[in-house]
Chain A
Amino acid sequence: AQSVTQLGSHVSVSEGALVLLRCNYSSSVPPYLFWYVQYPNQGLQLLLKYTSAATLVKGINGFEAEFKKSETSFHLTKPSAHMSDAAEYFCAVSVDSSASKIIFGSGTRLSIRP
């Protein structure tokens, strides 16, 4: 069975600092992996997704994630945090090849200090 673990329920960084949100996955088959972002009082929206085409995936708003099979990781990074990045971030893995059923991690809340 597939699962994802997000390390750290809350991460706080200074504006302009590196953002690193950690995600490790477990999957018996090659996974499809996602990062979603949820801004306050809104639904989730897709940041980026890994489809096996390239291990480094670039998403919206300057975020990117690198798939590392040897580490079973898919960490999300952004070189320089902006106040508008404050939100909750969810890592997710698909449970089938069509990726229509997705297992979500428990989420990491990102706070940005001025």
Chain B
Amino acid sequence: DADVTQTPRNRITKTGKRIMLECSQTKGHDRMYWYRQDPGLGLRLIYYSFDVKDINKGEISDGYSVSRQAQAKFSLSLESAIPNQTALYFCATSETSGSLDTQYFGPGTRLTVL
């Protein structure tokens, strides 16, 4: 079974709709992240969470919100989706090991906003 799972894997929605993307992990890591990937732009950080009570904005948080329901779950919401939020979204985790962190990525959610 995958260590980092994302649901749904694909979603098509309309402008103005509320969308939630979910991420679950079985790695036992404290830290979780949401990125979006756009062609030619690489990955950009939306939000990150170092533990259940610690949530921080990334470089492109406008139009998004997150919820860290438990150590293993980190959800990303688009309150009112717009077409330029069409992208591939990745969840990632990392552990606080005292050494250089490695991030582990989920398989991605492809979101299309019409």
Binding site for B on A (CB under 8 A): 9, 32, 41-46, 49, 51, 90, 94, 98-102, 104-107
Contact = CB atoms under 8 A, between A and B. Distances in A.
A44 B105 contact: yes
Contacts of A32: 100
B74 interface: no
Interface residues of B, number: 25
Interface of B: 4, 31, 35, 40-45, 48, 50, 58, 90, 92, 94, 96, 99-103, 105-108
A100 B106 contact: no
Given A44-B90, A100-B31, A90 B42 contact: yes
A43 B4 contact: yes
B42 A105 contact: yes
A44 B107 CA distance: 8
Given A43-B90, A44-B105, 17 more contacts: A42-B108, A43-B4, A43-B106, A46-B102, A46-B103, A51-B100, A98-B101, A100-B31, A100-B48, A100-B101, A101-B48, A101-B58, A102-B45, A102-B103, A104-B35, A104-B44, A106-B41
